Chains A and B, each alone.
Chain A
């Protein structure tokens, strides 16, 4: 059946010929047989739970373990300091690095203070300010991504949540310095992407990155938030899925048992990946690096044109 399905999808589409009827019948059948997609739903769901694990190292944990010195810079200079995004100057191999990341809390008080890692517009505007600062002095930027998503609230909307994410994306397209983004936990929709339009986008093995949370996806498409397991599988949100789809630049294997068991080990892996990628990126002329960044995101998408499937 799989073979027939791939044959069908290679055929050119002709007007009036409904090959897709047959394709969808086969897909339905495959799904009923329990092999609708690669991997099973419990494996995908395990990854979601691991990515959200309360003992996983967060941005400030990585900063503490990776850099001998760090000076946090705060505030968007307009409205407030958003504790759900932290950023600042890190001492890195005798020079400076700008580190910006989502920050979750561990106990009830700090979770509330960090708003569960869900930024408001002032968080994104602080990120932009720090990016501009880094760009001015030629300081490379590392972003660490770990958020369920941007905060959905009335005041956040009134202050332009959508525009704040969009302008952060725009700022990242324009940077002359090298940028490395690492998904360390939850890469939740636009709120995560805002910090991830980078020259290199890497994922830790047990992190997830998705257009929507599996719960919200299930609530809409399955009409039942409890169907989050099949939604997690269908969304192809694990690092292995996304590497296969070729939409990220690499996966970083975690220490035995996962990053939550060994913070030092995880930090070592992230640091090595950072060094390797920065070394490569710094060989490229700033102008060319910027052009390559635009080209990379320009190529993302899969569609059919005149009957051919294009990647």
Chain B
């Protein structure tokens, strides 16, 4: 389940080093760090999307000052007293030190173009974005908040799979997050996932693929088994585009690929459309004449809001 997927995020504690340069792994161009950051960590030459931290992601999506973190005090315990070459607690402390985070997922509320949402954003740097008890519980609380407030839930995924060091407890977080999605669909509250590089294993095989709409960033690896495991099993080399977002789109596994610069707008458009439908469903037909906030009114308002981003083409490509 958990697996080795190599992702190069050497930037410690998030953010970039001002004034330095970074070379693009895809086109080898040397990129100025400030310009790269200003371009949302996307290569201006070839469009390669560099992995970003959970805080950077929230900074890119949330309206200024609108982010409020929840469940920030949750920390991993060591229920198995897990010890490989080093104790689990030591690995956790190291991850905390390296990332400045307390776990592989941040959850909270934010506004995207004034639309209230609940965000759940994973961070691959924290123990390969692995899902253990804390990630499962944080996701549950995010879903619970979404149901209480009727804010849509947006989950940005980046994960190597379930966290081995919590054993079966980690595997069962797949069941737990699935139950959380079921709670969302009973409400119903819109739920959209953004699969980023890499989304694999137990996260892919639970809430990541259970969303109402699944988006992915260009070039992201999206595969249940790790490429290395597959190569070892079938004993042949995998094609270059194996498991990438583009291949997943061709095979009907995701709805769309969205470039980072368009992500916020696209999310608001999709959520707005879904919410328009939810507004209709919650407002019974016989109350239709109740006034401007009635069934048609709610939908019209949503439509106005999503139309206001004139720079994002209204019709999806």
Using CB atoms and an 8 Å cutoff, list the residues of chain A in contact with chain B.
9, 13, 18, 20-21, 23-24, 27-28, 31, 36-37, 149-154, 156-163, 165-167, 169-170, 173-174, 189-190, 193-194, 196-197, 209-212, 216-217, 220-223, 230-231, 234-237, 242, 245, 247, 294, 297-298, 300-306, 309-310
Residues of A within 8 A of B283 (CB): none
- Contacts A154-B234, A190-B174 given: A211-B168 contact, CB under 8 Å? yes
Give the interface centre of B80, B84, B163, B175 by most chain A CB atoms within 10 Å: B175
Specify which chain B residues have a CB less than 8 angstroms from the CB of A163 in the assembled complex: 204-205, 209, 253
Question: Which residue of chain A has the shortest Cβ distance to B93 in the bound complex?
Answer: A20
- Residue B76, interface by CB 8 Å: yes
User: Closest CB-CB distance, B243 to chain A, in whole Å?
Assistant: 6
Specify which of A154, A160, A247 is in contact with B253 (CB 8 Å cutoff): A160
Q: Which of A20, A152, A306 has the most CB of B within 10 A?
A: A152
Cβ of B83 and Cβ of A157 under 8 Å apart?
A: no
Contact B230 A162 (CB under 8 A): no
A210-B167, A247-B169, A302-B169 known; A189+B137 contact, CB < 8 A: no
Q: What's the minimum C-beta distance from B224 to chain A, rounded to whole angstroms? A: 4
B73 within 8 A of A: yes
Cβ A234 vs Cβ B83 within 8 A: yes
Closest to A37 in B: B81
CA distance A42 to B128 in the complex (A): 30
B91 CB to closest chain A CB (Å) equals 9
Residues of chain B with a CB closer than 8 A to A161's CB: 205, 224-225
Say yes or no for B223: interface residue by CB 8 A criterion. yes
Contact B164 A153 (CB under 8 A): no
7 additional contacts (CB under 8 A) given A158-B251, A247-B168: A162-B222, A173-B179, A189-B162, A221-B85, A297-B178, A303-B134, A305-B75
B77 CB within 8 Å of chain A: yes
- Is B164 a contact partner of A221 (Cβ separation < 8 A)? yes
Cβ B243 vs Cβ A304 within 8 A:
no
Chain B count of residues within 8 A CB distance of the other chain: 73
Task: Verify A220–B4 contact, CB threshold 8 A.
Answer: yes
Q: Does B219 sit within 8 A of A, measured CB to CB?
A: no
Taking a contact as CB atoms under 8 Å apart, the answer to whether A197 and B133 are in contact is: no
A68 to chain B, nearest CB (A): 33
When distances are taken between beta carbons in the complex, the residues of chain A under 8 Å from B200 are 162
Residues of chain B with a CB closer than 8 A to A160's CB: 209, 251-253
- Asked, given contacts A161-B224, A237-B167, A302-B77, whether A221 binds B89 with beta carbons under 8 Å apart, the answer is no
Q: Do the beta carbons of A159 and B251 come within 8 Å of each other? A: yes
* B229 contacts chain A at the CB level, 8 A cutoff: yes
* Docked-complex contact B209 and A166, CB < 8 angstroms: yes
Q: Can you pick out 11 interface pairs between chain A and chain B where the beta carbons lie within 8 Å of each other? A: A13-B75, A154-B230, A163-B209, A169-B178, A189-B1, A189-B171, A190-B162, A209-B168, A211-B1, A220-B3, A303-B76
B137, A150: Cβ atoms under 8 Å? no
Per the bound structure, the CA–CA distance linking A189 and B174 in Å amounts to 10
Known: A28-B87, A169-B178, A174-B182. A212 touches B208 (CB 8 A): no
Contact across chains for B172 and A300 when beta carbons are under 8 A apart: yes
Contact A154 B242 (CB under 8 A): yes
Contact mask B224-248 → A, CB, 8 Å, 1/0? 1110011001100011001100010
Q: Which of B78-115 contact A (CB under 8 A)?
A: 78-85, 87, 89-90, 93
A210 and B171 form a contact (CB under 8 A): yes
Q: Is B206 an interface residue (CB 8 A)?
A: yes
A24 & B224 in contact (Cβ 8 Å cutoff): no
Find out whether the CB atom of B224 lies under 8 angstroms from the CB atom of A165. yes
Which of B80, B90, B201, B210 is close to A190, meaning CB atoms less than 8 Å apart? B201
Interchain CA distance A245-B134 in the complex, whole Å: 16
Which residues does chain A contribute within 8 Å of B169, judged by CB atoms? 245, 247, 300-302
Say yes or no: is B170 at the interface (Cβ < 8 Å to chain A).
yes
A247 contacts across to B, CB distance below 8 A? 168-169, 172
A193 lies within 8 A of B175 (CB): yes
Known: A161-B225, A197-B175. A234 touches B84 (CB 8 A): yes
Residue B176 interfacial (CB < 8 Å)? yes
B136: CB under 8 A from chain A? yes
Contact at A157–B171, with CB atoms within 8 Å?
A: no
Cα A162 to Cα B206 with chains together (Å): 7
Question: A212 and B2 in contact (CB under 8 A), knowing A13-B75, A161-B225, A166-B205?
Answer: yes
Cβ of A297: which chain B residues have Cβ within 8 Å of it?
A: 172, 175-176, 178-179
Interface string of B121-161 (1 = CB under 8 A from A): 00000000000011011001000000000000000000000
